Amino acid sequence: MITLTINGKKIKAQAGRTILEVARDNDIHIPTLCYSDALKPAGNCRLCTVEVTCESRTTLETSCNYLIQEGMQVETASERVQAVRKLVMELLLARCPNPKKLREVGFEVGVDAVPPQFSLENEYCILCGLCVRSCSEIVQADAIDFEGSGINKKVAVPFNETSPDCIGCGSCVFTCPTQVIKMQDMDDAKIIYVEGEEDLGPQRMMRNWKTELNLKMCKGCGNPLAPEKQLTSLRDKMILPMEFFDYCQTCRAYPEIDEEKCLGCGGCSDNCPCCALELKEVEKEIKANCYTGNCTGCRICIDICPNGAIS
């Protein structure tokens, strides 16, 4: 265990943890914009800056990726820290004055207006990198990345063309703090030509990434499940049977076996594509048994059963 001091309070914490993690565990608030528990810390927004004193040296550090050390002293709201946070927020609000999340955090750190010496822009992306990191670290698609540098830096797909790697999962949408990434599902997408039109069927559009993906429909209710490309990616990674995503969670029903009708013929277990059905001995008779953890709800067993024992 490591002993450190945060805002005058002595705290014991496990080695290898960051200042931000330890502070949050002890109900000490540090504002952030680019931090997520599910992702590796990057320190992009600089809003989590704190004042760290180790031995006789005092520095300003980003708390999300700075590991705790024995005897360190941390101040989360000193004058220097507050000045840095205000400057960071003024710069962010000068770039992106409209997003609600930024205005809320700005108010929290004492910034309700951009100084007149800063020229206002009308961007919505704060370059926090949450979308890029979630696409790479969690989804492992690497469909988007930063391009350019300085004032020309932005998040984009390679060559600004349709991304062949985007699976339309929407992780980037859900992690974006300013909601600038747009995702839209359409029931009946079409391409209109001069000579006529082409029906594309149900599609998901990732507008920022110039990507359109076909949606897979539930065989039960007919509602869209998710992009076919996303489901294929999940199947491959988790080694799932092809039929696993044929039905949505609402329509997925597991077999109920009437043991009085079951002949124990084994037709269901022989034809089950995911090995969810096996034969077992029940009172010295062989009967079918379903393991719902493997079952995809494909209903093949219902069609196979010669005696209508499965429903």
Q: What pLDDT, on a 0 to 100 scale, did the predictor assign at position 81? A: 95
| Confidence at 174, pLDDT banded by 50, 70, 90 | very high
- Residues 37-66, mean pLDDT to the nearest whole number: 92
Mean pLDDT of the chain: 88
Residue with more model confidence, 39 or 239: 39
d(CA 147, CA 154): 6
Q: What pLDDT, on a 0 to 100 scale, did the predictor assign at position 11? A: 93
Tell me 208's DSSP state: G
Q: What pLDDT, on a 0 to 100 scale, did the predictor assign at position 80? A: 95
| Confidence at 9, pLDDT banded by 50, 70, 90 | very high
Tell me 190's DSSP state: E
Helix (H, G, I), strand (E, B) or coil at 247: coil
Q: What pLDDT, on a 0 to 100 scale, did the predictor assign at position 100? A: 92
| Confidence at 131, pLDDT banded by 50, 70, 90 | very high
| Confidence at 264, pLDDT banded by 50, 70, 90 | confident
Helix segments in 28-108, DSSP class H: 79-95, 100-108
- Residues 122-134, mean pLDDT to the nearest whole number: 94
Q: What pLDDT, on a 0 to 100 scale, did the predictor assign at position 94? A: 93
Nearest to 204 by CA among 175, 170, 237, 244: 170
Q: What pLDDT, on a 0 to 100 scale, did the predictor assign at position 200? A: 76
With 80 as the cut, is the pLDDT of residue 6 above it?
A: yes
| Residue 290 bridge partners (DSSP) | 277
| Confidence at 278, pLDDT banded by 50, 70, 90 | confident
With 90 as the cut, is the pLDDT of residue 118 above it?
A: no
Q: Which one of 48-62, 218-232, 269-283 scores highest in mean pLDDT?
A: 48-62
- Residues 246-263, mean pLDDT to the nearest whole number: 81
Burial track 143-181 (b if 16+ CB lie within 10 A, e otherwise): bbeeeeeeeeeebbbeeeeebebbbbbbbbbebbbbebb
**Pairing label, strands 224-227, 154-156:** unpaired
In this structure, the dihedral spanned by the alpha carbons of residues 7, 13, 16 and 20, taken in order and rounded to 10 degrees, is: -40
pLDDT digits (tens, 9 = 90+) for 146-163: 999 888 899 999 888 888
- Residues 199-206, mean pLDDT to the nearest whole number: 85
Task: Please give the domain boundaries of the chain with CATH numbers for all domains.
Answer: 1-122 (3.10.20.740), 130-228 (no CATH), 253-311 (3.30.70.20)
- Residues 94-109, mean pLDDT to the nearest whole number: 92
